[in-house]
Structure 1
Amino acid sequence: MTESDMRRRAFIAGLTRLAGGAVAAELLGALAPAHAAALIVPEEDDRLDAQYVTASEPGSRETRGYFVQQKFGGDRRPGVIVIHDDRGLTPSIRDVARRLALEGFAAFAPDLLSPAGGTPADEGQARALAATLDPAGAALDVVGVMRWLTRERRTSGAIGVMGFSWGGTMASRVAVVAGRTLRGGVAYYGPAPSAAEATRVSAPMMLHLAGLDARANRSGEAWVKALQRAGKEVTAYFYPGVAAAFDDAEASGYDAAAARLAWDRTIAFFNQRLA
């Protein structure tokens, strides 16, 4: 459980003690717009076509997800898969997909908790479900989504992947097993795979590492060095003084300057690699 989770639960518990369950529910409902205010692109943005679809690829499990692209300007856009953290397919991840769409990509955010019935509303339950997933199986689910997306008439067939925390780890795992179909991968923090897997990576990689996330950085630095020794194309950025989830406007460690810089670097990377 994160510090923000504990603060939130303590707040709700205190509110319930003071106001009673029914009144507390009403007050929390009134506070809900603050959650929406953290989003950068609203769900109802009329420039976008967003829908929930199921990616179905022969030999892979079906994976439901959030597919979004601009309404105008034609189809055949490069595709980017957005891998969520261990909270599942949350509003902030769907917001990332909408932001990518406004940058000119066809974005698909898969719900990797689909085999367990999808992301539950309770974040604690979502984390518990994510902990039960087989990482190798989840990576193959993303590869199935990737292959499905290459055949989607609305994409150009050039596909990249990005992920955050648990999803950052998964983005690197996907690069290990995806082969040359993957055109580029971006990992935001999260522990990296074993350095021994680096020789299997074909796609160029970009890593964003939070300066205060020592545990993830140890494996991240080893991963970068292993990729370099294997002759792979990799770029790593360290953001001093920020914690993991520095990019998430809903997180307590959000850092607007670092988030903007990492986003601009990510978009430039995908514009180059998926052209």
Structure 2
Amino acid sequence: MALERYLREEVAIDHADGYLSRREALRRLAYLGLAAPAAAALLAACARDDDSATPSRTPGESPAGPEPAPTEDITFSGPGDRDTFGTFAEASDPKGAVLVIHENRGLTDHIKSVAGRFATSGYSALAVDLLSAGGGTKEFDDEAEIMQQLSEAQPDDLVADMTAAIDELERRVPDAKIGAIGFCFGGGMVWQLVQSGEERLAAASPFYGTTPEEGPDFADSNAAVLGVYAELDDRVNATRDGAEAALQDAGLEHEIVTYPGVDHAFFNATGDNYDKAQAEKAYAKVTSWFDEYLA
């Protein structure tokens, strides 16, 4: 239910920001199990009453970070020996390894390029496809169906896929310390991975992701966590204080950074909220974090 509600809110915010027509938003909310009256009420509740979320992307702007290293689509053994899919980018002389978790649109070319950019920065990276149980992102032509599949998944099952991806990273990059980064939905998944107590996770950086609904508990984790937020992202920022308190309670090394003047998904160069200047700062910050805790 927590994933389903999160994804419904993502649709409503996209409509409020002008990225989805009302008709398309209602269609996607129907896929997510919301009847028309309830869907209309959610759209109304998320409507903007100001222009604070004016898109900031300039067409043709390049993504944050260096040019990506070559990537390779791979298949590896997941939970129950099921095929699990991902994209791997190998650093020439790896300082560590990074697991990359996608947004609510699945394993897109943008997320694959993020893995490639980390490889250029010295971290072999694997972007895992959390739609693997349904055959992978490639099996879905409709973003509404992708969101439906993710909303129906159990957090423990998604953590199992991420754990299998860490297994694969260990196989491909022996003896490397492992970090994780995720965006939007993927940011929430990174928080779930930290809460799972995965002992091989040395560092984590959730970008504008919500923490587990029942209240985060990171007592079993050893990861150094860099939480990244956007100043205008009120919905996700409502969970920020709780995340920081849980990190403090767990005694984890951590830092919370909120980038000014930007909204949710400001790091994604394919979206209208992209802000190159702040995305470049965020990329430099997270690579510095990984340099400290993984290299």
Bin of the TM-score, shorter chain as denominator length: 0.7 to 0.9
| TM-superposed deviation, 1:214 | 1.4
Partner amino acid for 2:219? T
| TM-superposed deviation, 1:258 | 1.4
Equivalent residue number for residue 52 of structure 1? 73
Partner amino acid for 1:89? L
**TM-score, scaled to structure 1:** 0.80
The answer as to whether partners of 2:71 and 2:112 remain within 8 angstroms in 1 is: no
Q: CA separation in 2, counterparts of 1:135 and 1:57?
A: 15
The answer as to whether partners of 2:194 and 2:218 remain within 8 angstroms in 1 is: no
Q: 1:196 to 1:164 in 2, by over 3 A?
A: closer
Question: Which of 202, 205, 208 is the aligned partner of 1:189?
Answer: 208
Partner amino acid for 2:103? D
The answer as to whether partners of 2:71 and 2:115 remain within 8 angstroms in 1 is: no
Equivalent residue number for residue 90 of structure 1? 108
Partner amino acid for 1:144? A
Q: CA separation in 1, counterparts of 2:255 and 2:270?
A: 27
Q: 1:5 to 1:60 in 2, by over 3 A?
A: farther
The answer as to whether partners of 1:183 and 1:203 remain within 8 angstroms in 2 is: yes
Q: CA separation in 2, counterparts of 1:147 and 1:176?
A: 18
Partner amino acid for 1:109? A
Give unpaired runs (5+ residues) of structure 2.
Answer: 1-10, 25-58
The answer as to whether partners of 1:78 and 1:155 remain within 8 angstroms in 2 is: no
| TM-superposed deviation, 1:115 | 0.5
> Counterparts of 1:148-187 in structure 2 under 5 Å?
148-152=168-172, 154-187=173-206
Q: Are positions 1:208 and 2:222 aligned together?
A: no
Q: Are positions 1:109 and 2:127 aligned together?
A: yes
Q: 1:8 to 1:247 in 2, by over 3 A?
A: farther
**Share of identical aligned residues, percent?**
32
| TM-superposed deviation, 1:40 | 3.7
| TM-superposed deviation, 1:151 | 2.2
Partner amino acid for 1:179? E
Partner amino acid for 1:79? A
Q: 1:230 to 1:128 in 2, by over 3 A?
A: same
Indicate the structure whose relative CO is greater, using CA pairs within 8 Å and at least 6 residues apart.
2
Runs of 4 or more consecutive aligned structure 1 residues displaced over 4 Å after TM superposition: 7-10, 36-39, 57-61
Equivalent residue number for residue 239 of structure 1? 259
**TM-score, scaled to structure 2:** 0.75
Partner amino acid for 1:64? F
Q: Are positions 1:6 and 2:25 aligned together?
A: no
